Amino acid sequence: MLHQDQGQLVQEVAAGGLPAPPSRYVLKEEARPTAGGVAVPELAFPTVDLQRLAEPGDVEEAAKLRSALDSWGLFAVTGHGVPEELLDGILDATREFFHRPAEEKLEYANRTDDGEFQPEGYGIDRVDTDEQVLDWCDRLYLTVQPEDKRQPRFWPPSLATLLHEYTLRSERVAKRVLRAMARALGFGEEFFLDKVGERGGTDARFTYYPPCPRPELVYGLKPHTDNSVVTVLLLDPDVGGLQVLKQDDDGERWVDVPVLRRHELLVVIGDEMEIMSNAAFRAPTHRVVTSNRERMSLVMFYQPEPHRDLQPAEELVDETRPAMYRKLKAKTFGDGFWDAFALGERTLDFLKVKIDNKDAVSSA
Ligand SMILES: O=C(O)CCC(=O)C(=O)O
Ligand SMILES: [Fe+2]
């Protein structure tokens, strides 16, 4: 059954010029991003040069990666090799798409032929209940890899060629990062890529955050960790809004991810990597806050082949560091993500993937 609010595009709500967002979007007081993120001096935000990282002898860049992974779980990348014209072109085409009239965009609506919700296509994320607080964004969600899993009916022709090209280029970015992460743990370069498999899945998410009349009342995108091994993000070059929950000695706090320099990309560690690495690398919780300006992003989620077992690598498990996650199929995890996301929960918690090691040890 399709929830009655499934068809309400946020862009149309925003265009209505209301003084405040309707109650469906308004967060409970304690969840509101009122306190705002703490801005970090730009220098403190980690940036890694992928070109340098590919040189096994460049210990300095490898150390930067390690520190970014340990303290943030996400980092900006330069030297990524994606042509600047392609990055500009796909952002322009994304803006052009979201600026089209609703009826044109709805040709790619996220519905089955029977009118039921399905994740691929254009619209809002899945609405399950009246209680669910809705995010202030519309999105176009597409499976891009493996190529034979693409559903062309959801692909706007104006984005298709650019997205195909960007898929190939950004996949190389993800692979280079995964190779460097394997090396960071002292493994061969293919350590993680072999676990992902040759036919790993990639989903693309184009998100449009309309201007919001009361940004302090809503989330652009609720707090979550990504359903991915790694995620590669192309962010709006003008407007910020992404925040990460950063742990430090004083506890945890929301920190602004700065607007990146033009043509930089962002890499975020996802849940599947946290599981595979037995938490050597942790997936950061992040969210998006809105403003009175529109904002866009294009996000690529790299996932393992669906039939693969997802579990802590045996090389990273021993008596001092027992397995922290139980084994499950990559597909089970991926499917569970959507159920968890609608509830605002982490998939790891929703599917009870974490192992309570105190029990495991005492019952052994
Ligand atoms: O729009 C952004 O900055 C981030 C989006 C995001 O976190 C996601 O799509 O998973
Ligand atoms: Fe995300």
Q: What percent of the chain has pLDDT over 90?
A: 90
Cβ of residue 222 lying under 6 Å from some atom of ligand 1: no
Between residues 263 and 42, which one has the greater pLDDT? 263
Query: Which residue, by CA, sits nearest to atom 1 of ligand 1?
Result: 297
Eight-state DSSP code of residue 113: T
Q: What is the pLDDT of residues 265-317, one digit of tens each?
A: 999 999 999 999 999 999 999 999 999 999 999 999 999 999 999 999 999 99
> Which runs of consecutive H residues, i.e. helices, occur in 1-57?
10-15, 50-53
Cβ of residue 217 lying under 6 Å from some atom of ligand 1: no
- Is the confidence at residue 240, as pLDDT, over 90? yes
- Is the confidence at residue 257, as pLDDT, over 60? yes
Cβ of residue 221 lying under 6 Å from some atom of ligand 1: yes
Task: Note the pLDDT of residue 217.
Answer: 97
Radius of gyration of the chain (CA): 20
Q: Does the structure's ipTM exceed the value 0.95?
A: yes
Task: Note the pLDDT of residue 364.
Answer: 39
Name residues whose C-beta falls within 8 Å of residue 142's C-beta, 6 or more positions apart in sequence: 120, 121, 150, 151, 154, 155, 163, 203, 204, 205, 206
| From 228, 242, 289, mutation site for ligand 1 pocket: most ligand atoms within 8 A of C-beta | 242
Query: Which CATH architecture does the domain made up of 10-362 adopt?
Result: Sandwich (2.60)
Among 4-18, 127-141, 205-219, 237-251, name the one with the lowest average pLDDT.
Answer: 237-251
Task: Note the pLDDT of residue 277.
Answer: 98
Task: Note the pLDDT of residue 78.
Answer: 98
Integer CA distances (angstroms), 27 to 21, 83, 216, 289, 345, in order: 10, 40, 9, 12, 15
Task: Please give the number of the atom of ligand 1 that sits closest to the Cα of 286.
Answer: 7
Q: Would you call 248 exposed, middle or buried from its count of C-beta atoms within 10 A (0-12, 13-18, 19+)?
A: exposed
Q: Please report, for the chain, the start and end positions of each structural domain, with discontinuous segments joined by +.
A: 10-362
Task: Note the pLDDT of residue 359.
Answer: 55
Q: What is the pLDDT of residues 7-30, one digit of tens each?
A: 999 999 999 999 999 999 999 999
Where residue 43 falls among pLDDT bands split at 50, 70, 90?
low
Q: Whole-angstrom Cα distance, residue 195 to residue 193? A: 5
- How would you classify the pairing of strands 295-303 and 286-288? unpaired
Task: Note the pLDDT of residue 355.
Answer: 96
Query: Which residue, by CA, sits nearest to atom 8 of ligand 1?
Result: 299
- Is the confidence at residue 37, as pLDDT, over 80? no
Q: What is the pLDDT of residues 76-122, one digit of tens each?
A: 999 999 999 999 999 999 999 999 999 999 999 999 999 999 999 99
Q: Whole-angstrom Cα distance, residue 230 to residue 147? A: 19
| Cα 157 to middle of ligand 1, angstroms | 23
